[in-house]
Amino acid sequence: MAPPAVNPPASASNGPSPENANPIGPPSGLSAIPTRYSSEQTLRQMLKSIGYDEAREDGYRLKGIQLIDSVRQSLQLPVKTFDTAAIYYHKFRIRFPSNEYNYEDVALAALFVACKAEDTIKKSKEILCAAHNLRQPHEHKTPDDKIFEAPSRFTVGLERHILETIGFDFRVQYPQKLLIKMVRKLFPLGDRSKQAEGERFLHVTYDMSIDVYKTFAPVKQTTFTLVLAILELTALLMDMDPAKTSEFKVTGAWHTERACVLETVLDLLDLYTQFPKSTKVGARFPLQKLMDVKIDINNLVALEKHQRYHGWCDRCVPDVVDARSATPGSATSPATNPSLPGSGSVKRKRAASEGTQRFVFDADEARREKDLVARHFDDEYEEHEVEVEEPIKEPEPRHPSRSNHPSHRSHGYNHGDHGWSTYPRSNTRHGHHNDRYRSRRAGY
């Protein structure tokens, strides 16, 4: 006996078919794919567009990262929270000039957002209180004090703009965990003779992993690039045998490039030679030693035919108007001065756009959706050539000139304007002077 035929289930008459369950149509918002890393050239263009003053902004960058680190240690937060807050701080500062937001406000708000992102939640008043107690240790406050009410509202309002600036992209690299693993590989735990040397080496490299966030290297490079650059620079400063770190110079095995590692090393050396007192490692070594290592790295870059900045293009640099920003108007802000009222609103307003902006993390899905939406907004035109005969107009006859009435043409004016008629005669005051003369003679 043959088995009964299985009939496909009939689709509901009042509902869509399974193939058309999701209707095709334009979405209600605008899609944006966040970029995790930026090149040095892109960073300079962004900084130049906001009127970046290098001498002043470098100081604000160092002070902001130092404030984040100090408050983090005061609240006993893990180092991953510091890494996240530093990345948020850099991404916000390269988009907004310093005359709109005080660097302390941005640093504390970035730490507040990082605490939520890393699940080490702290209230905004606790962060503001810790910053106040570090600034004024003789005047100890508690988070329940009323002076933190207005700054807390300002920090919460600034939190939304930090989230919008980072594009809701919470991916941040943590080099400390990988760094400890590589140091253990250099100095095995079983060898007690080299245990003391390994502890000194780890102490320098760990502090250098904090100092690297005082540069823009974490915004440009990956975790492996940061760790390899820290290991190579520490080995050069401590005069370690190059054979020990030779395996780390094969960058292809660590998913990076040699040019990126050398660029990060030079970024750290620029920080240590220009601002040694604002770093943890720069003050431990003499300036001459740092300069000698920097010269060796520059010679190595020239020998291996690398550029100072990886991927730099001289012909791709646009001419951006260099509008220098004014003196920061928020030097005393609600977060730093409790006497000033706080404000949940912000000064910077984004350009108005139709619909709601959405942040998509899958690039392929975003491209597919963009192509699908383009069908509803792209206008298609067809060009047709049609021959049309237009009649040629007959030239207008020239008006004969009157010899008995003088005009500008008789005096040599408007020789090239032969198609104009003569001026009209008028008996008013604004008529021709000859007409006024004739009217006066006719009244006698």
User: Among 258-262, 302-306, 357-361, where is mean pLDDT lowest?
Assistant: 357-361
Compute the distance between CA of residue 284 and CA of residue 279 in angstroms, rounded to an integer: 10
Other C-beta atoms lying within 10 Å of the C-beta of residue 209: 23
CA distance 374 to 417: 55
Instruction: Dump pLDDT digits (tens) for 219-233.
Output: 999 999 999 999 999
What is the average pLDDT value for the chain, to the nearest integer?
77
Beta strands in 4-146 (DSSP E): 29-32
pLDDT at 130: 93
The CA–CA distances, whole Å, from 392 to 55, 389, 399 equal 70, 9, 21
User: 276: helix, coil or strand?
Assistant: helix
Q: How far apart are CA 200 and CA 132, in angstroms?
A: 34
Tokens encoding 136: 């004024």
Q: How crowded is residue 66: how many other Cβ atoms within 10 Å of its Cβ?
A: 16
pLDDT at 245: 81
Instruction: State the DSSP string of 189-254.
Output: TT-STTHHHHHHHHHHHHHHHHHGGGSSHHHHS-HHHHHHHHHHHHHHHTT--TTTTGGGG-GGGG
* Intra-chain end-to-end CA distance of the chain, in Å: 134
Cβ pair 107, 162 in contact under 8 A: no
**Average pLDDT estimate for 196-204:** 89
Q: Which CATH architecture has domain 35-172?
A: Orthogonal Bundle (1.10)
Report the pLDDT value the prediction gives residue 319, as an integer from 0 to 100.
Answer: 47
Per-residue confidence (pLDDT) for residue 29, from 0 to 100: 60
> Which pLDDT band, with edges at 50, 70 and 90, does 331 fall under?
very low
Give residue 4's pLDDT band: very low, low, confident or very high (50, 70, 90): low
Report whether pLDDT(176) > 50.
Answer: yes
Least confident segment among 53-62, 341-350, 410-419: 341-350
Give the integer Cα–Cα distance in Å for 271 and 212: 9
Residue 310 in this model has a pLDDT that exceeds 70: yes
Domain boundaries, the chain: 35-172, 175-325
pLDDT, residue 377, reads 75
Tell me: pLDDT of 297 over 90.
yes
What pLDDT was estimated at residue 324? 35
pLDDT band at 293 (very low <50, low <70, confident <90, very high): very high
**Res 329: pLDDT:** 37
| Whole-number Å distance between alpha carbons of 111 and 68 | 7
Give the E-state strand segments of 276-397 in sequence order: 356-359
- Residue in the block written with tokens 């002070």: 63
Q: Which residues contact 152 (CB under 8 A, 6 or more apart)?
A: 124, 125, 128, 342
The one-letter code for the residue type at 324 is: R
Give the span between the Cα atoms of 360 and 352, in whole angstroms: 20
Q: Dump pLDDT digits (tens) for 277-292.
A: 999 999 899 999 999 9
- Average pLDDT value for residue range 144-173: 88
Give CA–CA dist 387/408, Å, rounded.
45
Segment 305-324 mean pLDDT:
67
**Residue 399 — pLDDT band, cuts 50, 70, 90?**
low
Does the pLDDT value for residue 351 go beyond 60? no
Q: What is the mean pLDDT of residues 57-79?
A: 92
What does the block give as tokens for 265?
A: 């090393």
Higher pLDDT, 195 or 75: 75
Tokens 């730099």 belong to 312
Greater confidence (6 vs 32) lies with 32
Mean pLDDT calculated for residue range 194-209? 90
What pTM does this model have? 0.68
pLDDT digits (tens, 9 = 90+) for 400-441: 555 455 544 444 444 444 555 555 555 545 544 554 444 444
Work out the average pLDDT over 296-317.
84
Using the 8-state DSSP alphabet, how is residue 304 labeled? T
Please check whether residue 30 is in contact with residue 356, taking contact to mean a CB–CB distance below 8 angstroms: yes
* Distance of alpha carbon 73 from the chain centroid: 28
Task: In the chain, count H helices and then E strands.
Answer: 14, 2
Q: Which two tokens stand for residue 304?
A: 């291996």
How many C-beta neighbours within 10 Å does residue 247 have?
12
For the chain, percent of residues with pLDDT exceeding 90: 35
